[in-house]
Amino acid sequence: MNLLFKKARVVDPASGTDDLMDLLVEEGKIAAMGRGIPESRIRSALPQNEPSPPFLPGEGVIDCTGKVLVPGCIDMHCHLREPGFEYKETIESGSRAGAAGGYTSLACMANTHPVNDSRAVTEYILQKAREKACTRVFPIGAVTKELKGESLADIGELKDAGVVALSDDGKPMMNASLLRRAREYARSFGLTIISHCEDLQLTNQGVMNEGFMSTLLGLRGIPNAAEEVMVLRDIALAELTGASLHVAHISTAGSVRAIREAKSRGVKVTAETAPHYFSLTDEAVEGYDANTKMNPPLRTAKDVTAVIAGLKDGTLDAIATDHAPQTAIEKDVEFDQAAFGIIGLETALPLTLKLVNEGHLTLMEVVEKLTLQPARILGLDLGRFKVGMDADLTLIDLERPKTIEVSQFKSKSRNSPFQGWKVKGVAVLTVVAGRVVFHDPSVS
């Protein structure tokens, strides 16, 4: 299983590398990095007088001229729907979608059926991942039993079984006292709690952002404050407990401001946003397409600007997809009755690269938010290049134009608001532990 990446622009935020070089993968590990690694190092293993071999998945020389090689992308927040909702997505299909989007690791949320609140479910997910997934899969365990927010899940047992973090994502923990205890308890296991910040009373059955668009469309609004009061509450709890806090899917200017302020005071808080929160506004809801319905909702241009600024100054550490597969059964209904959520694994990278193309962030900055930062927050030794480490990597063609076409997705679901979008910059090769799990036909 040997690969030689020639003349790649290697971007590795951990070491600050942004340089043209070669990278050799042997036996699934990074064996060498540097200029002028001779092709003989892998060709010697091939029969002598055969013509130069075409691209062989798993063994070959890959000319990376004009392409960028980065540590494999890590999605710290997705929903793989298995067990329980296999008609929407499975660990297998979700990982194939991830690989096609340039992801080598996926951290999947606990809102499966049954909920991942016990060793049995965690082990089931890991077992399925070993058998079926082409990427790494890291389960996130529930904070409370059945995500009900009433009593703690067996957190020690979950840790033992292999969860990398805890979250009741999809449902906010309205009971602040229980959340405080959960933080304190989880801290002793080194597990970060990922908060879905939403005050349900303020949401009050809202289905889109509260603002001019909800007024025009006559849809119930979710005010920015529904997110912000909980972000502020959770920051206060982080200070109280000393436990680190990670806030999921930040969507509002006020949340960015609150986290920036907390970080400046040294509070142990990290945060992520998702590509749709810097790519779309609530104006996309006009027309009542349920593929523009997610939670938190698409906000206004002012919020988009603040989210991008938060990414730029490091307030927002990571970009996650919040990949939430839903089928036509959930989506082809009245807007207010449609399920929340959109898929993102196969669109996140190009949408994020748009930030680079438009001059908001540097390539180094976005790569860090897709690789090193999620690894750091989840405590995974991934997301960087180092000789001897497992070879997880993503080859990106920054110049490749692409029209997003949901019918081509590897995901089982099609619920994307980005159908037909013209983007530039896509993953063309994805390698997990030295194994090619996705490659574009153009790569040879």
Partner 1 sequence: MGNDLDRAASRPISDKPSLRLAGKDLLGIQKMDVSEIELILDTAESFKEVSTREIKKVPTLRGKTVINLFFEPSTRTRTSFEIAAKRLSADTINISTSSSSVTKGETLIDTAKNLEAMNPDCIVIRHSSSGAPHLLARLMHVPIINAGDGAHEHPTQALLDIFTVREKKGKLAGLKLAIVGDILHSRVARSNIHGFIKMGAEVHLAGPRTMMPAEVERMGIHWHTSLAEVIPESDVIMMLRIQLERQGGGFFPTLREYSRLFGLNLEVLKAAKPDVLIMHPGPMNRGVEISPEVADGPYSVILDQVTNGVAVRMALLYLLVGGEREADRSSL
Which stretches of the chain bind partner 1, using CB under 8 A?
Answer: 210-212, 214-219, 221, 223, 287-288, 332-337
Helices (H), 81-154: 91-100, 119-132
CA distance 3 to 114: 41
CA distance 269 to 258: 11
322 is catalytic: yes
Query: Roughly what angle, to the nearest 10 degrees, separates helices 363-370 and 301-312?
Result: 90
Between 143 and 298, CB nearer to partner 1: 298
The least CB distance from residue 220 to partner 1, in Å, is 8
What is the b/e burial string over 189-198, where b = at least 16 CB atoms within 10 angstroms of the residue's CB? eebbbbbbbb
The least CB distance from residue 288 to partner 1, in Å, is 3
Instruction: For 392-433, give the DSSP string.
Output: -EEEEEEEEEEE--GGG-SSS----TTTT-EEEEEEEEEEET
Between 50 and 334, CB nearer to partner 1: 334
Between 82 and 199, CB nearer to partner 1: 199
The least CB distance from residue 215 to partner 1, in Å, is 4
Q: Across the chain, how many H-helices and E-strands are there?
A: 15, 18
Between 15 and 215, CB nearer to partner 1: 215
The least CB distance from residue 337 to partner 1, in Å, is 6
Between 338 and 375, CB nearer to partner 1: 338
Which member of 22, 117, 199, 322 is catalytic?
322
How is residue 56 annotated by DSSP? B
The least CB distance from residue 415 to partner 1, in Å, is 15
What is the b/e burial string over 51-90, where b = at least 16 CB atoms within 10 angstroms of the residue's CB? eeeebeeebbbbebeebbbbbbbbbbbbbbbbbebbebbb
The least CB distance from residue 205 to partner 1, in Å, is 11
Cβ count near 304 (within 10 Å): 20
Strands 60-63 and 68-71: unpaired
CA neighbor of 419 nearest in space, from 358, 328, 342, 352:
342
Let me know how long the chain is.
Answer: 444
What tokens does 212 get? 């001019």
CA distance 90 to 325: 10
What tokens does 166 get? 């805890």
Between 121 and 339, CB nearer to partner 1: 339
The least CB distance from residue 290 to partner 1, in Å, is 9
DSSP bridge partners of 194? 167, 246
Between 173 and 219, CB nearer to partner 1: 219
C-alpha separations of 322 from 46, 154, 196 in Å: 43, 25, 11
CA distance 274 to 294: 11
Between 20 and 329, CB nearer to partner 1: 329
The least CB distance from residue 341 to partner 1, in Å, is 18
Catalytically active residues, by annotation:
322
